[in-house]
Chain A
Amino acid sequence: MPQPILEVSHIAKAFGDFQAVKDVSFTVHPGEVVGLLGVNGAGKTTVMSMLLGLITPDAGNIHVFGKNFAKHRIEILRRTNFCTTYAALPSNLKVKHNLRIFARLYGVAKPNQKVDEMLELLEITRLADSITGRLSAGESTRVNLAKALLNDPDLLMLDEPTASLDPDIADKVRKLVRRIQRERSPAILYTSHNMRDIEEVCDRVLFLHKGSILTQGTPDQIVEHFDEDDLENVFIKVARSHEKEGEE
């Protein structure tokens, strides 16, 4: 087994009395697509934010490319990228301007050439001169993905990339992620509420519940573990148990 790209050991995070993440540990290897699954408030976004340095863990360690994240933040972020529904590119700039700026921020050698390459890869060359804020949800997602791929990241984090997309566009995004994984083999960490995303895209799934890893394995193993027909039913089962616990 090669060295893991990402190694998370016993991270925890509390916001006041609310324990958002409790003792979470996992690894992601090169070329692997790992899904973070869980109901709202399970801790997925907090975990991702900690991996991007936007939230500081209260405990535990994060090692990326074998280096401690807290000590080598800039060096690690140059080889990492992400796409999230919680952030947008400046809406009043043209797509090509936004991408060129982020190419420079990530230290890409030939920014203009790279932007053209990404626009072509995501089949959005026609959007280069469009104002980012006027794009449809699907176009916007693809532009955000283009931004996330500008630096050919070795670790790519995708936080609900298919949220608010229609089934057709969501399917295209899933195929695209698979293609990126095949052609460039980055390690990918993927969160979604869409079970089809997880089943089609992820090699392995971490099921988060109340800030802890409830179970992990391939999508099939997770389904088997909960004795259900598919991931969607597993998700509903966990969500309902969560509701019941809340009522009690």
Chain B
Amino acid sequence: MNPKVIYALTERYLLLYTRNPVRLIELFFWPIVQLIVWGFLTSYLQGQAGGNFPKVITFLIGGIILWDALFRSQQGVAISFLEDVWTRNLLNVFAAPVRMTEYLAATFAVGFLRVLVTSLLMIAIAWGAYAFNLFQFEYALVFFYANLVLFGWCLGVLVTALILRYGHGAESLAWAVPFLIQPVAAVFYPVASLPGWLQPIAHALPPSHVFEGMRHMLSQGTVDWHSMWVALGLNAFYLTLAGAVFARTLRVAKQRGLLVKVSSS
């Protein structure tokens, strides 16, 4: 992989944010709205419970901040690809001396930077408005974020492959896919609360282990390392799978002329 190529592609995606205020609003608007909604809900529940407010309910705020990391990471990959489709730049990039790995690495970097920016903002708001300190998770927070960002990348790559394969009709998946897995990702409730037949699906997804780990830490005060390592192992598997799916889709797209079709339509 050539770092200069990755840097150039990353710069191109980041410049889009500075040149388009709508992109910046999109980056900040939804995280803030979600945090306000869930923050007020938590405050309301806290008021209702009076002095008996269980600390564990604060996981609603923790859940929304961490969920946003997964969502932003996924969006970084999928939207970067869509930007190339929308601006009819895809052919310029794919006919340039750019390896598939370099292209994906650049979208990963964009995803990571999106997570960094929105997370810092959300952490600051949660601390200022609701006295919720995400840094109470200490070094476990690094594992939480790492696992969510990795899984966001996996979803982003899979969505990109789907758009490449099925064209513009599949664009809405860039926003829909994370929310398809949210109900079974144990973001706001434990895996145990899901119907029995859904629990194996939840256990097969890295985010459920992260959110279970977060709740475990809030209630027990200790890190559930087992959950973290399981999440990391699952992410390694999904990232390999997503890479293989993307490589195959790109090969099929070149065989069927889909790359030219998606880019020029």
Q: Taking beta carbons and an 8 Å cutoff, which residues of A are in contact with B?
A: 13, 15, 45-46, 49, 52-56, 73-75, 77-78, 82, 84, 86-94, 97, 101-102, 104-107, 131, 147
- Whether B254 pairs with A107 at a CB distance below 8 angstroms is no
Q: Give 30 A-B contacts (CB < 8 Å), ordered by A residue.
A: A15-B256, A53-B94, A53-B95, A54-B94, A54-B95, A55-B254, A55-B257, A55-B260, A74-B97, A77-B95, A77-B96, A84-B91, A86-B264, A87-B88, A87-B89, A89-B87, A90-B16, A90-B89, A92-B20, A93-B19, A97-B15, A101-B8, A101-B9, A102-B96, A105-B8, A105-B9, A105-B96, A106-B97, A107-B4, A131-B19
Chain B nearest CB, measured from A99 CB (Å): 11
How many inter-chain residue pairs (CB < 8 Å) link A and B? 101
- Whether A90 pairs with B87 at a CB distance below 8 angstroms is yes
Given the complex of chains A and B, what is the CA–CA distance between A56 and B263 in angstroms? 16
B98 contacts partner chain A, Cβ-Cβ < 8 Å = yes
Given the complex of chains A and B, what is the CA–CA distance between A93 and B91 in angstroms? 17
Given the complex of chains A and B, what is the CA–CA distance between A54 and B264 in angstroms? 12
Cβ of A82: which chain B residues have Cβ within 8 Å of it? 95
Main DSSP-derived SS at the A contact region = mixed
Cβ of B97: which chain A residues have Cβ within 8 Å of it? 73-75, 77-78, 105-107
Interface set, chain B 77-104, CB cutoff 8 A to A: 83, 87-99
Q: A105-B5, A105-B97, A147-B92 are in contact. Are A91 and B260 (CB under 8 A)?
A: no
B248 contacts partner chain A, Cβ-Cβ < 8 Å = no
Q: A86-B260, A104-B7 are in contact. Are A52 and B95 (CB under 8 A)?
A: yes
Give me the 8 closest cross-chain CB pairs, A-B, nearest first. Answer: A104-B8, A87-B91, A52-B95, A77-B97, A86-B264, A88-B88, A90-B87, A56-B254
Chain B nearest CB, measured from A90 CB (Å): 4
Could you tell me how many residues of chain B have their Cβ less than 8 Å away from some Cβ of chain A? 35
Cβ of A55: which chain B residues have Cβ within 8 Å of it? 254-255, 257, 259-260
Given the complex of chains A and B, what is the CA–CA distance between A13 and B95 in angstroms? 18
Chain B nearest CB, measured from A18 CB (Å): 10
Chain A nearest CB, measured from B121 CB (Å): 24
Chain B nearest CB, measured from A3 CB (Å): 22
Chain B nearest CB, measured from A83 CB (Å): 9
List the B residue with the shortest CB-CB distance to A77: B97
Given the complex of chains A and B, what is the CA–CA distance between A86 and B90 in angstroms? 10
Given the complex of chains A and B, what is the CA–CA distance between A102 and B9 in angstroms? 9
Given the complex of chains A and B, what is the CA–CA distance between A146 and B146 in angstroms? 41
Given the complex of chains A and B, what is the CA–CA distance between A147 and B98 in angstroms? 15
- Whether B95 pairs with A74 at a CB distance below 8 angstroms is no
- Whether B12 pairs with A93 at a CB distance below 8 angstroms is yes
Chain B nearest CB, measured from A46 CB (Å): 7
Given the complex of chains A and B, what is the CA–CA distance between A82 and B16 in angstroms? 23
List the B residue with the shortest CB-CB distance to A53: B95
Q: A54-B91, A56-B254, A90-B87 are in contact. Are A74 and B8 (CB under 8 A)?
A: no
Given the complex of chains A and B, what is the CA–CA distance between A107 and B15 in angstroms? 20
Cβ of B260: which chain A residues have Cβ within 8 Å of it? 45, 49, 54-55, 86
Q: B96 is contacted by which of A56, A94, A106 (Cβ under 8 Å)?
A: A106
Given the complex of chains A and B, what is the CA–CA distance between A87 and B263 in angstroms? 7
Cβ of A104: which chain B residues have Cβ within 8 Å of it? 4-5, 7-8, 11
Cβ of A75: which chain B residues have Cβ within 8 Å of it? 97
Most buried by B among A13, A74, A87: A87
Interface set, chain B 2-25, CB cutoff 8 A to A: 2, 4-5, 7-9, 11-12, 15-16, 19-20
Given the complex of chains A and B, what is the CA–CA distance between A55 and B8 in angstroms? 24
Given the complex of chains A and B, what is the CA–CA distance between A88 and B254 in angstroms? 20
Given the complex of chains A and B, what is the CA–CA distance between A105 and B94 in angstroms? 11
User: Chain B 14-55 against A: per-residue CB contact (8 Å), 1 yes, 0 no?
Assistant: 011001100000000000000000000000000000000000
Q: A54-B254, A86-B260, A87-B264 are in contact. Are A93 and B16 (CB under 8 A)?
A: yes
Cβ of A102: which chain B residues have Cβ within 8 Å of it? 8, 92, 96
- Whether B11 pairs with A86 at a CB distance below 8 angstroms is no
Chain A nearest CB, measured from B168 CB (Å): 16
Given the complex of chains A and B, what is the CA–CA distance between A55 and B252 in angstroms? 9
